[in-house]
Amino acid sequence: MKTAPIVRRVMVMAISIALCSVAQALVYNGTASPVAPGNTYVYTTFGSGDVVFKLTSGMPSQCGGFWLRATDPGLKNDLAALMTAITTQTPVTVYADPTQIWTGSSTPYCLVYMIAL
């Protein structure tokens, strides 16, 4: 069905607009267009399996990278989106909370709120 990608893009755009207007505390990767994911690290024991990653460019000044908390209910979906983007070299836009910093590094990794493909 060819309408599914169009519907998905419209939904992502609607969510992105809503996030921009509602959640002032969130940051995103700061570029006008999506950016390819860069280095990704999956920890088997730290945080019960936290995932941290960077983008190839366009990182917000508050975040040296982004992290996915292993205990969050949306982890599987976010991780699937991230792995899809890496595998297919699809650029992403990442929305994150700069007040939620990962404790596993001296680099400030911000907690991911949403990954938009």
Q: Is 47 exposed, middle or buried (0-12, 13-18, 19+ CB in 10 A)?
A: middle
| pTM beyond 0.75 | no
Task: Flag whether pLDDT at 32 surpasses 70.
Answer: no
Number of compact structural domains in the chain: 1
The arithmetic mean of pLDDT across residues 40-64, rounded, is 87
Question: What pLDDT is recorded for position 20?
Answer: 42
User: 28 by DSSP, 3-state: which?
Assistant: strand
- 76, pLDDT greater than 90: yes
List the CATH number of the domain containing 54.
2.40.50.110
Structural domain range at position 66: 3-116
